[in-house]
Structure 1
Amino acid sequence: MFSRFMPKEGHFFKLFNAHADEIVTGAKALVVLMQAVGQNDAQVAKSTADIDDSETRADSINHEVMALMHATFITPLDRDEIHQLISHMDDVLDTIQDVAETMSLYDIVDVTPEARKLAELSLSCAERVRSAVALLSNMDNGQTILKTCREIDELESDADRVLRSALSRLFREEQDVRQVLKFKGIYELLESITDRCEDVAKILEAVVLENS
């Protein structure tokens, strides 16, 4: 009966890693989606479905983490940190899904280079989130985690610059107000993926600093 009070550290970290894998899978599907729009409708549909599948699997992992946290007497991290980490990770995939759904809702049939670049920056952020999360089980990796988090911050700043440039060109060159509103929304959603990755990075930084 005492087994339920033993720390299940390994399982928590496996779940974090599994969720991070889904974030990268979803971000890769988003890049493919952006490349396929206007070129390959079947691929657009497949990539959208892939993103939905990743988000569904990630939701299941989120629920499993929450259930495990409530069933475990000793957790490897502070309970609030666990909650914030998995919730912010979930926000990344939710935002990726929002982009895909908005592309469909707005009936976007052509994608700008800036939108593709923002999707690529989102994937780069997602990959670094996965790298940092994979190191979290050992605080000897603290400095490497912090370095990876700084890289996420830099990528988020890059995305900000791409967003500003994209909006500037959109307002200068696009005459159709409906298209302006559509692409403004898509650009801002794409950039917010990197914001959500930065939120994860801040939690990881806090965990490292608290446990160093």
Structure 2
Amino acid sequence: MIFGKLLPKDGNFFQLFNEHGNYIVEGSRAFLSMVQYYNAPDLREKYASEVDAAERNADRITAEVNRLLHRTFITPIDREQIHSLINAMDDILDLLQDSSEVMALYDVQRMTDDVQRLTEISVKCCERVQSAVALLPRLNDAEVAESALKTCEEIDRLESDADRVMRSAMSRLFREEQDTRELIKLKAIYEHLESISDRCEDVANLIEGIVLENS
């Protein structure tokens, strides 16, 4: 009992989740700006750097959460839920950064309307992830818990939208793109972008579990 009293309780996990969520939104919006201004090299580089910065900042928060787990005796929600959630959130920004790097490494010369659409869906998913995460400290309020579940449902619907957009994009790509190298590049980018909404859905599923167990 004495040992337990010497260890900190609760920690600031919800605050760290919220900060990480802010970086997810920041990174996704920077990525969207990079896509929108892709034909302006200076702006493209500027926004790609902002994606990188958001990913690095989020990595630091992920590391802090994992360190805090080792130092905290009593956590506000299940320890495994905390670990799974922060790492799933981190996967979102990793994919945003990967998508940015793939565009640069493949020397992509143009953005398609489908890239724009998939990116816009990704941003909406990221914004809703942040909205759901921000509600976690108040799940004992029934209305807040219900709002969190509805936000997770919105993420699920957006992920389905991304699936439909990607299927349509792939169909159009293989029917219309004559340059094989360009086809390979765009196919990889479409797959990366669709995976962002998949990772957001993973976070939504984890949050749903947290809500149902803790509200």
Instruction: Give the TM-score normalised by structure 1.
Output: 0.96
User: Which residue type is aligned with residue 98 of structure 2?
Assistant: D
For residue 3 of structure 1, report the CA deviation from its aligned partner.
6.8
- Alpha-carbon offset, residue 2 of structure 1: 7.3
Query: Which residues of 2 match residues 99-178 of structure 1 at below 5 A?
Result: 99-139=99-139, 140=141, 141-178=144-181
What is the DSSP-based 3-state SS (H/G/I as helix, E as strand, rest coil) of the residue aligned with 1:101? Answer: helix
Deviation, structure 1 residue 4: 4.9
**Cα pair distance change 1:153/1:65, threshold 3 Å:** same
**What is the 5 A alignment of 1:60-71?**
60-71=60-71
Give 1:48 shift. Answer: 0.7
Contact 2:4 2:73 in 1 (8 A): no
The 1:4/1:55 distance shift into structure 2, 3 A limit, reads farther
Query: Is the CA contact (8 Å cut-off) linking 1:4 and 1:71 kept in structure 2?
Result: no
Report the identity percentage: 52
Cα distance in 2 for partners of 1:48, 1:4 equals 45
Matched residue, 1:7:
9
1:85 and 1:192 map into 2 onto residues whose CA distance is 17
Q: Is the 8 A contact 1:149 1:201 kept in 2?
A: yes
Residue 210 of structure 1: how far off its partner (Å): 1.2
User: How many Å separate the matches in 2 of 1:147 and 1:184?
Assistant: 32
User: Counterparts in 2 of 1:21-32, with a 5 A limit?
Assistant: 21-32=22-33
- Figure out how many residues of one structure are paired with residues of the other and give that number: 210
Pair 186,4 (structure 1): closer, same or farther in 2 beyond 3 Å: farther
- What are structure 1's unaligned runs of at least 5 residues? none
> SS in structure 2 opposite 1:15?
helix
Could you tell me how far apart the structure 2 residues matched to 1:105 and 1:161 are? 27
Code of the aligned partner of 2:134: A
* Structure 2 letter corresponding to 1:210: E
The whole-number CA distance in structure 1 between the counterparts of 2:65 and 2:132 is 18
Q: Give the C-alpha shift of residue 6 in structure 1.
A: 3.6
Aligned 8 A contact 1:37 1:108 in 2: no
Gaps spanning 5+ residues in structure 2: where? Answer: none
TM-score when normalising by structure 2: 0.95
Pairwise mapping of residues 63-102 of structure 1 onto structure 2 (< 5 A)? 63-102=63-102
CA distance in 1, matches of 2:6, 2:29: 38
Is the counterpart of residue 203 in structure 1 residue 201 in structure 2? no
SS in 2 for 1:137: helix
Kindly report which structure 2 residues correspond to 1:170-189, keeping only aligned pairs within 5 A, or say none.
170-189=173-192
Cα distance in structure 2, aligned partners of 1:37 and 1:24 = 19
